[in-house]
Amino acid sequence: MKIPFNKPFLTGNETKYIEDAVKSMKISGDGVYTKKCHDFFEQKYNFKKCLLTTSCTDALEMAAILIDTKEGDEIIMPSYTFVSTSNAFVLRGAKIVFADSKPNHPNIDVSKIEALITPKTKAIVPVHYGGVACDMDEIMALAKKYNLYVIEDAAQAIDSYYKGKPLGSFGHLAAFSFHETKNIISGEGGMLVINDDQFIDRAEIIREKGTNRSKFYRGEVDKYGWIDIGSSFLPSDIIAAFLFAQLENLDEIQKKRVGNWNLFHEKLIHLQENGCFQFLDLDENQTNNGHLFALIMNNLEERSALIDFMRKEEVMPVFHYLSLHKSPYYQDKHDGRELDNCDRFADTLLRLPFYHDLSKEDIEKITSLVIRFFDGK
């Protein structure tokens, strides 16, 4: 039986809640289920204000608007990330200043950030790769020193912590994804978290096409109109109904995924000790939310060979990001600095199939293929 890279997990209540949302006849945005999701996140993680969006990409675009990103502003972020992290700011005319990754993890190397700050710098956008926390104390301290905004790209970071505090609660703003490939899903979907009060009112307006319709529905104003720029960033309540079925099972989902992760780790640790590859190790400040299981291979050739070897047995590992500073779209706009760690992860990082429903036998099959590959060398 083929083992795909990803398989979405359904809790069983998704269609029931969707039917319920449909029957309520209030199926546009900000209905009953959207409110339930907002309350869930605000209570569980103590986020100040949560707003569901149609994607994490949208949440990042809202963040770029909220901090008034303008032509010429500079935004510091890692190059080893998804295009949306950058695109959101490029759409508003910003210049992206890419920072290198840490030597042993794709997360942004904080020791490289300060030298990149100029009077034009407006924000730092840390990406918690694989749901593993960036060095948030250092990043927040730099932001304070230079009066910058911090926007966490927490797309992969649901239910993960830094020094005991949930990711998404550090930056002025944070963006989560509920795309089918993430831990908690709604097909497409996302959320903007607002931790800084000054952004709350305007975030509601931007999300509602630049109108104060949210205030109107709450009875806080007697008519609504066009008062700012904005777009349609809010999802239908049908999407929120799907998401809520997932949220009710969040602890169970996380427990299973982290259990799967530990099993992979246990079965492959001897190969890491033999230097066949490295894991993305955690320090005592970070937690593992079971988002992905990655191997850092020793070189590109070995990665390609392992992918081919496993695919022949119908097991589907994949690599991950390509360096954004070398992308066809951005290479001419990049300032030319070499980002060696980022390039190395682009060449050597491999993700094994990883999802909720992997059985012990599946994990045995996947890991024994990895072991066989190295035995045959």
Binding residues for ligand PLP, how many (CB under 6 A)?
14
Taking the C-alpha atoms of residue 97 and residue 167, their distance in angstroms, rounded to an integer, is 23
Q: Give residue 203's Cα distance to chain centre.
A: 20
Task: Give the closest residue to 35 by CA, choosing from 214, 249, 240.
Answer: 240
Applying CB under 6 A, among 11, 34, 79, 81 the residue interacting with ligand PLP is 81
The site string for ligand PLP over 43-72 (x = CB under 6 A, - otherwise) reads ------------xxx---------------
Look up residue 172 and give its DSSP letter. S
Q: Which two tokens stand for residue 189?
A: 């979907």
Q: Does 237 bind ligand PLP (CB under 6 A)?
A: no
Taking the C-alpha atoms of residue 355 and residue 163, their distance in angstroms, rounded to an integer, is 26
| Closer residue to ligand PLP (CB): 189 or 353 | 189
Applying CB under 6 A, among 34, 69, 79, 85 the residue interacting with ligand PLP is 85
Q: How far is the CB of 257 from ligand PLP (least distance, A)?
A: 15
Applying CB under 6 A, among 177, 186, 254, 289 the residue interacting with ligand PLP is 177
Beta-sheet strand order (sheet of 318-319): 277-278, 294-297, 349-351, 318-319
Taking the C-alpha atoms of residue 361 and residue 249, their distance in angstroms, rounded to an integer, is 24
| Closer residue to ligand PLP (CB): 235 or 367 | 235
| Closer residue to ligand PLP (CB): 38 or 179 | 179
Q: Does 179 bind ligand PLP (CB under 6 A)?
A: yes
Applying CB under 6 A, among 9, 41, 47, 82 the residue interacting with ligand PLP is 82
Taking the C-alpha atoms of residue 1 and residue 361, their distance in angstroms, rounded to an integer, is 11
Classify residue 100 by burial, with Cβ atoms within 10 Å: 0-12, 13-18, 19+: buried
Q: How far is the CB of 345 from ligand PLP (least distance, A)?
A: 13
* Helix runs in the chain, H state only: 14-24, 32-45, 56-66, 83-90, 136-146, 200-207, 213-217, 237-247, 250-273, 300-312, 340-348, 360-375
| Closer residue to ligand PLP (CB): 182 or 213 | 182
Q: Which two tokens stand for residue 176?
A: 């989560």
| Closer residue to ligand PLP (CB): 97 or 369 | 97
Q: Does 190 bind ligand PLP (CB under 6 A)?
A: yes
Quote the longest CA-to-CA distance of the chain: 74
Taking the C-alpha atoms of residue 71 and residue 313, their distance in angstroms, rounded to an integer, is 50
Q: Does 235 bind ligand PLP (CB under 6 A)?
A: no
Q: Does 323 bind ligand PLP (CB under 6 A)?
A: no
List binders of ligand PLP among 265-294 (CB under 6 A).
none
Classify residue 246 by burial, with Cβ atoms within 10 Å: 0-12, 13-18, 19+: buried
| Closer residue to ligand PLP (CB): 156 or 249 | 156
List binders of ligand PLP among 115-174 (CB under 6 A).
127, 153, 155-156
Q: How far is the CB of 128 from ligand PLP (least distance, A)?
A: 8
Q: How far is the CB of 83 from ligand PLP (least distance, A)?
A: 8
List binders of ligand PLP among 293-312 (CB under 6 A).
none
Binding site for ligand PLP (CB under 6 A): 55-57, 81-82, 84-85, 127, 153, 155-156, 177, 179, 190
